[in-house]
A and B are shown apart, each in its own frame.
Chain A
Amino acid sequence: MDATFSRLTMTAASAMLLLALVVLWRRHVAAYITAFRTQSIALAFVGVVVAWYGHVPELFVVGLLILALKGWIVPRLLSGIEARREGVRELQPLVNAETSLLICGALAVAAYEISRPLADVMNLATRGGLPIALALIFVSLFIVVSRREAVAQIVGFLMLENGIALLALLGAYGVPLVVELGVFLDVLLGVLVMQAVVYHIYDTSTE
């Protein structure tokens, strides 16, 4: 049972990392948003798995909230921002796709190396997923710094948030519900503020 638990969380975590990597290869904002939505669904799945096997019932609520907020509301807001922009243009990242992928491969290997001592001293069933969560954080950070478009940067930032949430779920079976709720509000508020700023950017750039 412990084996199933750890394998399930690790598979979902690696699916999340996979989606972050796929983003580096895509060229359109719509693909970024889809990847983020799918990644959030995978995060909700991790939450439910941890709730079930780790016997932390309030994580079911957290999983549902993740599904509702990051799997539905935030992607809709992002699509709204994207729809307001005129013309579909290809993204022009600062670093080209091959180089970004290779850099991210190196970042992920580094994440494994860095988290090895941590995984050695932990005895949670989910410790195998920790390096993946760390790798996801690094890769998302790379997305934020290497993209030029505001919406792509927001998606990178949200993926970074997903990575931190994954780290909390796997490393500590989630944080208290109150903190979690605060984080959700922060994310929502952050996206709303960014939306306003991005609209402002579009308005000034079209003038």
Chain B
Amino acid sequence: MLNLLAVVAQTALLALLAPAVVGYVRLAKARLQGRRGAGLLQPYRELRKTFGKGMVIAETASWIFHLAPFAIVGATIAAASLVPVVSVTQPADQLGDLFVLTALLMLGTFFLALGGLDPGTAFGGMGSSREMTVAALTEPTLAVAILALALTTGSTSLGVIAGSVLKMPAYAIGPGHALAFAAFLIAMIAETGRLPVDNPATHLELTMIHEAMILEYSGPYLAWIEWAAAVRLTLLLTLAANLFVPWGMAATLAPAAIVIGLVAIVIKLGVLGLLLAVLETRVAKLRLFRVPELLALSFTLALLAATSSFFTK
């Protein structure tokens, strides 16, 4: 019972915090660019507004178009329930490990691409095709990068990986860890559609990926998809924070440890979000044909990380 509560609470925390994380990154970016920015709570307001609106659905859309938003939200929430957020003891570990997590993320991407293709518009199809190109390269990178950690710690369960790094800080400095972190960051940026791979702030531009796929969606469906995208970003940031720098996470379910864990995850998300904002301010969007080169780099790094973890074990 306590276990179930812990899983539900961590998942709910991740899901509810997600729009604030997006708002925070936007705010930090605005400040860096000399604008005042819209405040942390703006994404919540946007979601409320979008949820309250009516929908316009293309005549050519089939049932897949209606199914996709819920499939995306379901897959993302299921993936979020596997991530250790506040505490190392993540009882949902019994349900799935890093491979299940990657598969669930891929399932969400798959339905997003289907939803983009379904109404038969040019933009949606183009976005889906691009998204598949990127996803085919990022998902294996994410899996191999986490696998490098799994090889060091001897378990593919995310909670156990975080827990062993917490117990043995020496694991945290080493080629496997450093290279895997670099690979993970690049894959994460591509996966969440941030600069330099995709620009989250543009609409109706020939270079966009994520925004092109959801162009036909409006009203509550759009709100669900936007929210799922925010959860995905938060989930991957949390994963980056907790797998590579697990300090501060609660080792037990004692109240004091949980409070420390909560504070720690907020601070870590703050630092990572700031890094993301600085990166997005500094770099320009890559030409689409250079994106696979960047992803090849991240895959090579992940491969090296896994190799070095395997051989130095």
Contacts and interface: CB of A to CB of B under 8 A. Distances in A.
A170 B290 CA distance: 36
B4 interface: no
B306 to A, nearest CB: 10
A11 B292 contact: no
Interface in B253-301: 290, 292-294, 296-297, 299-301
B307 A10 contact: no
Contacts of B179: 14, 18
B300 A104 contact: yes
Nearest to B170: A3
A123 to B, nearest CB: 15
A111 to B, nearest CB: 9
B173 A11 contact: yes
A155 interface: no
Contact of B301 (A18, A109, A112, A116): A18
Interface string A21-47: 110110000000000000000000000
A115 to B, nearest CB: 9
- Chain B: interface residue count, which band? 20 to 34
A151 B297 CA distance: 23
B173 A8 contact: yes
A101 B170 CA distance: 29
A24 B179 CA distance: 16
B311 A7 contact: no
A171 to B, nearest CB: 16
Contacts of B175: 10-11, 13-14, 17, 128, 132
B102 interface: no
A129 to B, nearest CB: 8
Given A10-B174, A105-B300, A112-B307, 15 more contacts: A11-B174, A11-B178, A14-B175, A14-B178, A22-B297, A97-B290, A97-B293, A101-B296, A104-B300, A105-B299, A108-B304, A112-B311, A128-B312, A131-B308, A131-B311
Contacts of A112: 307-308, 311
A3 B290 CA distance: 40
Interface in A91-115: 96-98, 101-102, 104-105, 108-109, 112
25 contacts: A4-B170, A8-B173, A11-B175, A14-B175, A14-B178, A14-B308, A17-B175, A18-B182, A21-B304, A22-B297, A24-B297, A25-B297, A97-B296, A98-B293, A101-B293, A101-B296, A101-B300, A104-B300, A105-B303, A105-B304, A109-B303, A112-B308, A116-B311, A128-B175, A131-B311
A32 to B, nearest CB: 15
A3 B173 CA distance: 10
Interface residues of A, number: 30
Interface of B: 170, 173-175, 178-179, 182, 290, 292-294, 296-297, 299-301, 303-304, 307-308, 311-312
Nearest to B306: A109
B174 to A, nearest CB: 5
A21 B297 contact: yes
A198 interface: no
A15 interface: yes
Can you list the 7 inter-chain pairs with the closest CB atoms, starting with the nearest? A14-B175, A97-B293, A105-B300, A98-B296, A7-B173, A101-B296, A101-B300
B297 A132 contact: no
B283 to A, nearest CB: 13
A21 B303 CA distance: 13
Q: Which of A4, A21, A101, A116 neighbours the largest number of chain B CB atoms within 10 Å of its CB?
A: A101
Interface in A53-80: none
B301 A108 contact: no
Contacts of A10: 173-175, 312
A179 B284 CA distance: 46
A25 B182 CA distance: 15
Given A7-B174, A14-B175, A97-B293, A102 B311 contact: no
A108 B312 contact: no
A131 B176 CA distance: 13
Contacts of B182: 18
Nearest to B171: A7
